């Protein structure tokens, strides 16, 4: 009798079925991981924005302002930059991505001013201003980034609604 090498049709069908089950389980988890990763990177961007403004005020030895522009983007500058192209603008940060909402709480329209000591001008040590970040697709990543009067920046988990 002749020996036949290879796979039978049954073996191939079982392999394809197992592969289909694994893919069906893995794809939703991958999508959740991608959403989670994207949300975390956005939260980190806005926390870094606050840290950048504070550290620039300390390093430069002059007050630095962080304010939101009309297009919902943010600018960090030494004076009162009107836009990202202004001479006193140090760095710009993009507006929130689709599916994300950024709410500035208690931040004056003129912006948040960090002093040369890294404190927030006009804020008492016990009061805080904050940015609330909410996501449509991944509410587990919702965060509130707060800054108290002495310049301490912290990120707290937000609630799913």
Check pLDDT > 80 for residue 149. Answer: yes
- Residue 30's pLDDT band (cuts 50, 70, 90): confident
> Does any domain span residue 37?
no
- Residue 155's pLDDT band (cuts 50, 70, 90): very high
> Does any domain span residue 31?
no
> Does any domain span residue 12?
no
Q: Given this model, what pLDDT does residue 104 score?
A: 87
Q: Given this model, what pLDDT does residue 1 score?
A: 64
> Does any domain span residue 9?
no
> Does any domain span residue 27?
no
> Does any domain span residue 100?
yes
- Residue 66's pLDDT band (cuts 50, 70, 90): very high
> Does any domain span residue 59?
yes
Note down the domain range covering 140.
42-157
Residue-wise burial string across 149-159, b where 16 or more C-beta atoms lie within 10 A, e elsewhere: bebebebeebe
Q: pLDDT tens digit string along 121-136? A: 887 777 889 999 999 8
Q: Given this model, what pLDDT does residue 143 score?
A: 92
CA distances from 20 to 30, 31, 34, 40, 114 (A): 15, 17, 21, 30, 55
Q: Burial level of 86, CB count in 10 A (0-12/13-18/19+)?
A: middle
Residue 41 vs residue 106, higher pLDDT = 41
The CATH number covering residue 78 comes to 3.55.40.10
> Does any domain span residue 115?
yes
**Structural domain tally of the chain?**
1
Residue-wise burial string across 121-136, b where 16 or more C-beta atoms lie within 10 A, e elsewhere: eebeeeebbbbbbbbe
Coil vs helix vs strand at 159: coil
């Amino acid at each position: 009798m002749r020996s036949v090498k290879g796979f039978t049709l049954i073996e191939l069908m079982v392999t394809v079925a197992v592969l289909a089950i694994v893919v069906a389980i893995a794809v939703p988890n991958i999508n959740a991981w991608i959403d989670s990763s994207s949300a975390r990177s956005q939260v980190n961007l806005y926390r870094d924005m606050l840290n950048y403004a504070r550290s620039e005020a300390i390093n430069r030895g002059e007050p630095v302002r962080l304010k939101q522009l009309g297009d919902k983007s943010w600018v960090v500058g030494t004076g009162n930059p009107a836009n990202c192209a202004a001479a006193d603008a140090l760095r710009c940060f993009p507006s929130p991505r689709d599916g994300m909402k950024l709410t500035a709480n208690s931040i004056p329209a003129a912006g948040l001013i960090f002093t040369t000591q890294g404190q927030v001008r006009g804020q008492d040590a016990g009061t805080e201003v904050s940015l609330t970040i909410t996501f449509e697709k991944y509410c587990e990543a919702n965060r509130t980034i707060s800054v108290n009067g002495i310049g301490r920046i912290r990120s707290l988990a937000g609630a799913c609604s």
